[in-house]
Amino acid sequence: MITLVLPKLHIIYPIGFILAIKTPNFRHFRDFDPEVQYMELSYTPLYHYNSSNTTAMYSLLGPALFASLVAAHGHVTNIVINGVSFDGWDINSYPYAQSPPVVVAWGTPNTANGFVSPDAYKSSDIICHLNATNAKGHAVVAAGDKVFLQWTPNWPESHHGPIIDYLASCGAGGCETVDKTTLKFFKIDGVGLVDETNVPGIWADDQLIAQNSGWMVEIPSTIAPGHYVLRHEMLALHGAGTEGGTQNYPQCFNLQITGSGTDQPSGVLGTDLYSPTDPGILLNIYTSLSTYIVPGPTLYSGAVSITQTTSAITASGTPVTGTGGATGGATTTSTSKTTTSTTLVTSTRTTTTTTSKVTTTTAAGGGGATQTLYGQCGGDNWTGPTACASPAACSSSNQWYSQCLPTAA
């Protein structure tokens, strides 16, 4: 057995597994804000991250450690097109498999359900997530049809922010082999602050939570046929009051779009989508916002605003490989879901913000309800639990937000 002693964390593990230990500057996996002084552990394949202000040490760890941490964030488990479900990238098994199955989702060693932070906006990690690799298959969808993206459950309610969808043409060679750094993305969907009546407001991710952690996007009917990468992304703004505090969760999927459309919109390289100081990236959501600008380039003129619904699954799909015109097979299943609908409003807002340094404190324990790990536990106008379930402590980021973070066992 080996004992690892870290700041605010003391854990004993059997030898034989990899531990990635990140400093507070390693923001891909550090949950919360750049100034929070703690380390988050994750079972992650060894890799090199090139950043001048980042350090990483590697040791040994058992895989059970991060089970609860993984649940704190999320990823897309599957997509549904006309009732046919296509598997996504399974972070719990595929990164460790010698020959993972062919799926329509891009692969990533992001086994901790971590995020990409603003200091990596100029790196290729922002395109389709950490060290992402091409999906080996694709799904066929007609222009004008809808794609439902199913996220893992329990997306944190505190992680308010927009949901954005892009397409990028892969050209004649298809998306299975395209160089991701050459992809140029155009925005087909962008929903931000839906209702600002009560701070911090209702955001697109709140709507996603309300409908079984899923999101529907329509492929514009005017798009020319071809092979495209669908880039679907959630942003968490709970720490965005400090530069570098926004969390990006990009997910990519290969599609073959059919139809009679002719539009071939120009796009933006993934590394040029955002800046750390964009008004929709650097802002304090715990003050009243008169406007909010959804980050990224201007919405494509042919984009369609839709009413959000869930999607019943009637069959499981088989990804198509190659660049031919074949369609994916489907196996009938008995799965069904209740369909609900919620009207969403795409918001274009502007805001000025101030930033404040984050301090970490431990809230005194008390009776009554307790908040779960990574849940909100304080801040102005907060009426929920202020005590954290062991072994977490309530840490204050600013006047408006405190969060339950891991402590020593």
Residue/partner pairs of 192-195 with CB below 8 Å, 24 or more apart: 192/161, 192/162, 192/280, 192/292, 192/293, 192/294, 192/346, 192/347, 192/348, 192/349, 193/162, 193/289, 193/292, 193/347, 193/349, 194/344, 194/345, 194/347, 195/345
Edge-to-edge strand ranges of the sheet holding 330-332: 214-218, 146-151, 76-81, 84-87, 315-317, 330-332
Chain CA centroid to CA 142, Å: 25
What are the respective helix, strand and coil percentages of the chain, to the nearest 5? 10, 35, 60
Residues 310, 208: Cα–Cα separation, whole Å:
10
> Global pTM?
0.68
- Give every CB contact of residue 117 below 8 A, 6+ residues apart in sequence: 27, 28, 34, 244, 245, 246, 247, 248
Phi and psi dihedrals of 278, rounded to 5? Answer: -55, 145
pLDDT score for 313:
95
pLDDT score for 396:
78
Buried b / exposed e over 4-16, threshold 16 CB at 10 Å, is bebebbebebeee
Residues 20, 47: Cα–Cα separation, whole Å:
9
Residues 68, 94: Cα–Cα separation, whole Å:
19
Query: For residue 210, what is the enclosing H or E element?
Result: helix 204-210
Quick one: residue 270, left, alpha or beta (phi over 0 = left, psi -120 to 50 = alpha)?
Answer: alpha
Q: How many CB atoms lie within 10 A of CB 372?
A: 16
Residue by residue, pLDDT tens for the chain (409 residues) are: 444 444 333 333 333 333 333 333 333 433 433 333 233 333 333 333 333 333 333 333 334 344 434 445 899 999 999 999 999 999 999 999 999 999 999 999 998 899 999 999 999 999 999 999 999 999 999 999 999 999 999 888 889 999 999 999 999 999 999 999 999 999 999 999 999 999 999 999 999 999 999 999 999 999 999 999 999 999 999 999 999 999 999 999 999 999 999 999 999 999 999 999 999 999 999 999 989 999 999 999 999 989 888 999 999 999 999 876 544 455 433 333 333 333 333 333 333 333 333 333 333 333 467 877 666 777 766 677 888 888 778 887 656 567 777 775 4
Residues 34, 196: Cα–Cα separation, whole Å:
26
Chain CA centroid to CA 111, Å: 13
Chain length of the chain: 409
Q: What is the CA radius of gyration of the chain?
A: 21
Is 163 in a helix, a strand, or coil? Answer: strand
Is 207 in a helix, a strand, or coil? Answer: helix
> In which residue ranges of the chain is CATH 2.70.50.70 found?
76-316
Query: For residue 13, what is the enclosing H or E element?
Result: strand 9-13
pLDDT score for 393:
85
Residue 4 β-bridge partners: 11
- Helices (H), strands (E): how many in the chain? 3, 26
Residues 401, 284: Cα–Cα separation, whole Å:
10
DSSP 265-328: ---EEGGGS--TT-TTTS--TTS--S--BPSSSPBPTT-----EE-----EEE--B-SSSS---
pLDDT score for 259:
97
CATH of domain 76-316: 2.70.50.70
**Residue the block writes with tokens 């703690």:** 38
| DSSP designation for 153 | S
